[in-house]
Each structure stands twice: as C-alpha cells, then as structure tokens.
Amino acid sequence: MIRQARPEDTDAILDVWLLASLQAHDFVPAAYWWQQQEQMRARYLPSAEVWVCEREGYIQGFIALADNYLAALFVRPDCQQKGIGRALMATAKRRRKQLILNVYCENDIAVNFYRQHGFTVTDESTDPGTGQPQLCMGFNTAL
C-alpha cells in the first residue's frame, strides 16, 4: 500500500534511506551518510511531500517530492526487485506532470531505472556534498 507519510513514520523512513544509501552509494564514504541523518530528519523530510510503500506491516520504500524535484526514491535493499520502486515512481508521476532529479553517475542501477521510466539526461554537475559527478534527469508527460 502506498500512502502519504505520517510523522510517526520518520524513523522507518530514515532507516530505509540509510540502508539504501549505504548500498547504492558505496563509492561515497559511509560516514557521509551517517552524518546526514539528522539533516534528513530536521530539514529535508519536513520540507517535502513524502509517500511511503508499506507492506507486511513495515515501510519498505519511500519517495520525497519538493515541488517538481524528486528529492528521493529509496527502497530497502532486502525489498528491492519486488515492484516497490515502480509503484513509487508511478505515484510520483501521478502527482507531478514534470519531474527533475539528480542521480550519481556511478549509480548505474538508478540511472537505468530512471531511463526505463522515461527520464532523460538534461545536465551534468558535481554534488557539492560528496564531490561526486551527478546527472540531472528530467521527465515531462507533456512531451
């Protein structure tokens, strides 16, 4: 079931984010992700529209939307390949006609996932927090 996040979901959302970030971004020192947890809790999640995928009584993935920016799409590593990412992406596309996002160039799985969902590369830059190269990708249902 996909539903809007509630305040009591925050710890579970942060667990999903941390586990998935550590797995998907092994090219970034793990300490970076641990240090970002409080900023996620205090700044990023409260400023976004967050939707969770809850199955079997626990949160297995989430998306965070800030205007037309897909700020996050994460699925617990032990829950991947079960359609959760696709369901979350469908929710994002229903809620927004245009979406942009940033994804690390080295995160091939995510880059391919977004391409499969109609996103195209619009720009390249360097993430100021990690120094890693990233792609800016966009999706527009009007095209």
pLDDT digits (tens, 9 = 90+) for 41-99: 998 899 999 999 999 899 999 999 999 999 999 999 999 999 999 999 999 999 999 99
Looking up residue 17, the CATH number of its domain turns out to be 3.40.630.30
Token pair for 76:
């617990």
In whole angstroms, how far apart are CA 23 and each of 48, 80, 131? 23, 12, 18
Task: Domain count for the chain, please give it.
Answer: 1
CA dihedral sign of residues 54, 59, 61, 67: positive
Q: How far apart are CA 116 and CA 22, in angstroms?
A: 23
Range of the domain at 98: 2-140
Mean local confidence (pLDDT), 4-24: 95
Q: What is the pTM of this model?
A: 0.93
Token pair for 124:
């390249």
